[in-house]
Homo-oligomer: A and B are copies of this chain.
Amino acid sequence: MPKQKDKRPTIRDVARQAGVSYGTVSRVLNSHPEVAADTRVRVQRVMEKMGYQSNLGARMLTTNRSNLIEIIVMDVHFGIVLPRMAQYIDAAGYSTLYAECTLETFAHTLNTAAARLVDGILLYAPKLQMPDDELLSSCHGIPIVRRDYVLDSKLTWVGFNQEHATRLVVQHLIDLGHQQIAEITGSLNFINPRLRHDAWFNLMKTQGLEPGPSYTGDYSTFARAMKTGYMGVCEFLKRGESFTAIMTVNDYAAMGALSALHEHGLRVPDDVSIVSFDDDAIASYLIPPLTTVYFDFDIQNKLASQFLLEQIDDPDYKHHQHVLIPDLVIRQSAQPPR
């Protein structure tokens, strides 16, 4: 038995107070033109005075819309994604639902989203590779935008060119004179680690260099990414691999690597150079400050939400795949090898 919530005034209460019919109040609510200017303000004043707020349940029932946008995050737990998105969603007058899921619970999550009459879905699923038609049919017709780099999808997505990002890193290291470039990355069934791994491998090969050792680990939280970075270095050293530079999957992994290298008496960048991805805020506060690839997540979030909102409003929306181009931010963690 839920605690008694306030009984909120309804449109009929407002109508009575304002001396009009509930239909008129509804028209005022939806700013229909067919209502006289003075009655409009009269009704608005009464709504104001009574603290009227239209009941979402009732509105959902008739309009089949909820004014809700759901952010679904799959397989990872970066709290970061959310607030930045929510800001744009709020600004457009929607509220933000948040759900985390895995591949197994994905269908269920989408079902409840449909039952909630969610108006749109922002999907961040860096591991999900699902054919368009399957994804669409799971969505029950709810517009969806992916905040990922999904080359094989014709649906709307916004992502960063990972091949280019990798090239920035590898080329920078090669230009500095590195020949033995190791890699610490995420599990290769994640999209980005896979693309970067392949790009790294091919770039090395085409330059006539042997790809250095590679370590993959969990990077689905910051804590795990740090651990992966740490373990990667330990593993390399234990195996006696030789390398003069490491490319890490993100700045937190770099932080872990830094820590492990330090423990083993190796100096960065004197003994080993590190270049990573993301340019998270921590990058410039690490010792040494990290050379890293800057992904403008703000733009990504903004575009993803914007595309979703457009898609919600426009019944014959043309899907676009938007590729963002990252930049390299050169700080001090990568220097010529000794």
Contact = CB atoms under 8 A, between A and B. Distances in A.
Interface stretch (A56-64, A191-199, A240-248, A269-277): A56-64
Contacts of A4: 141, 315
Chain A interface size band reads 35 or more
A282 B229 CA distance: 12
A338 interface: no
Contacts of A71: 98
B64 A5 contact: yes
A291 to B, nearest CB: 16
Contact of A287 (B66, B97, B140, B287): B287
Contact of A60 (B6, B60, B262): B60
A36 interface: no
Interface in A304-331: 311-315, 317
A80 interface: yes
Contacts of A256: 285
Interface in A81-105: 81-83, 86-87, 90, 95-100
Contact of A99 (B86, B117, B317): B86
Interface string A48-70: 00010111111111001110100
Contacts of A259: 285-287, 289
A145 interface: no
A58 B61 contact: yes
A79 interface: yes
Contacts of A55: 60-61, 115, 117
A147 B3 CA distance: 21
B141 A6 contact: yes
A142 B117 CA distance: 23
Given A97-B95, A140-B6, A287 B262 contact: yes
A21 interface: no
A141 B5 CA distance: 5
Identify which of A5, A87, A114 gathers the most chain B CB atoms within 10 Å of its CB: A5
A143 B5 CA distance: 9
B111 A53 contact: yes
A3 B255 contact: no
Contacts of A226: 281-282, 285
5 contacts: A53-B112, A53-B114, A97-B97, A97-B98, A223-B281
Given A3-B141, A6-B114, 15 more contacts: A3-B143, A5-B64, A53-B112, A54-B115, A55-B60, A57-B58, A61-B61, A73-B83, A82-B82, A86-B98, A86-B100, A90-B100, A95-B116, A230-B285, A255-B285
Interface of A: 1-6, 8, 51, 53-61, 64-66, 68, 71, 73, 77-83, 86-87, 90, 95-100, 111-112, 114-117, 119, 140-143, 221-223, 226, 230, 252, 255-256, 258-259, 262, 281-282, 285-287, 289, 311-315, 317
